[in-house]
Amino acid sequence: MEGAAVPDWDIAVEACMPQRHEDFFRANAGQPWPAEHARLAQQELETFASMLTDLGVTVTRPDVVDQRKSFSTPNWSTPGGLYAAMPRDLLLVVGDTIIEAPMAWRSRYFEIDAYRALLTDLFNRGGKWISAPKPQLREEWYDREYDGLTPYETGRYVTLEHEPTFDAADFIRCGRDIFAQRSHVTNQLGIDWVARHVGDEYKVHTIDHTDSSPMHIDASFMPIAPGKLLLNPGRIKEIPEIFKSWDVRFAPEPQLPKDHVLYMSSAWVSMNVFMVDEKRVVVEAGETELMRLFESWGIEPLPVSFRNVMRFGGCFHCVTTDVRRKGTLESYF
């Protein structure tokens, strides 16, 4: 969260964000977030990183980048960036390949800079590193007539199909299968680009949803462990056929207080958990009902306070990108 800035309120941001914050975004674009909220979020991130280290996980951190600098391309300009707090949004890991995402928010165009040293190190240690085509994000390539209430019914999203765009967080992998959603930041060309580049060893599936402001799959659809799937009851109405043999459960209502300020997400980011392994899951400390669900599944919850991080659009899954796991690549279907 160091150096984080409020993003500009453009059409792509508007499609994904709560309208109640429009005035705040417009007045503060390119400026620091409220200092106390940012400070508390940073403390929670440090606590989580220390916990993972104690569990034997090797934790690496991005460089600090000042996002409060304006920048431009020949097609547009923006008063600043966003942050380097959510690597899951930026980086898609498939086997020994790491893919940079061509993000639809202009404020995130150079967010990858904070990860350059880490990516270079991964490459030097034998990994494969590719970047999707850098999008132009031209003004006319956003649909200003999209239906902000029912994109899943009308088929209209703010991102059109002139060029591939996707956030890596609109994809989630189970072994040899990758599940994706069409959203306001991920278009069909983006999904097709990923499917064509991951090779024959993996298969990409598209998940139907009823999210009115879709952005990132992991607060709607979360494979937990082999044979276990967690779904958002308000966004996934029909269990995908491929999961009919799995134990599928619907997440309980989030327990976040109604007056807790969330700048960039809904309370359903409570589903955004992190699996340490098949038997242990990191859960926000206030989500006691969700912890009970995991316990009934035979999975040990590891509670960590994270409500200040949640203000900024993500939780444990978003703030991590696991680049190396022990085990064997399997197919679960």
pLDDT at position 152, please?
Answer: 84
Which strands sit side by side in the sheet containing 177-180, from one edge to the other? Answer: 171-174, 177-180, 203-206
User: Rounded CA gap, 54 and 118, in Å?
Assistant: 21
pLDDT for the residue 199: 87
Domain of 80 in residue numbering reads as 11-310
Whether 318 maps to a domain, the answer reads: no
Which CATH number is 161's domain given?
Answer: 3.75.10.10
Domain contains 329: no
Retrieve residue 29's tokens.
């674009």
pLDDT on residue 158: 96
Alpha-carbon span 166 to 90, nearest angstrom: 9
pTM as predicted: 0.96
**What is the phi-psi region of residue 293: left when phi exceeds 0, alpha when psi lies from -120 to 50, beta otherwise?**
alpha
- Whether 6 is covered by a domain: the verdict is no
Q: Is residue 2 part of a domain?
A: no
Count structural domains, the chain.
1
Question: Which residues of the chain register pLDDT less than 50?
Answer: none
Instruction: Let me know if residue 62 belongs to a domain.
Output: yes
Q: Is 216 a catalytic residue?
A: yes
Write the CB contacts of 26 (distance below 8 Å, at least 6 apart in sequence): 9
DSSP string, 295-311: HHTT-EEEEE--HHHHT
d(CA 153, CA 286): 34
Of 167, 170, 211, 218, the catalytic one is 167
AA identity, residue 317: H
User: Does some domain include residue 228?
Assistant: yes
Question: Residue 69 domain-assigned?
Answer: yes
pLDDT digits (tens, 9 = 90+) for 43-53: 999 999 999 99
pLDDT of residue 18: 74
- Check residue 317 and give its pLDDT: 98
User: First CA to last CA across the chain, in angstroms?
Assistant: 38
- The predicted-structure confidence for 189-210, as pLDDT tens digits, reads as follows 999 999 999 989 999 999 999 9
Whether 5 maps to a domain, the answer reads no
Residue indicated by tokens 């980086």:
91
Longest distance between any two alpha carbons in the chain, whole Å: 55
Buried/exposed code over 170-207 (b: 16+ C-beta within 10 A; e: otherwise): bbbbbebbbbbbbbbbbbbbbbebbbeebeeebebeeb
Query: What DSSP character marks residue 46?
Result: H
Measuring CA to CA, which residue among 234, 238, 259 is closest to residue 311?
Answer: 259
Catalytic residue among 184, 209, 216, 317: 216
pLDDT at 148: 65
Cβ burial, residue 36 (10 Å; 0-12/13-18/19+): exposed
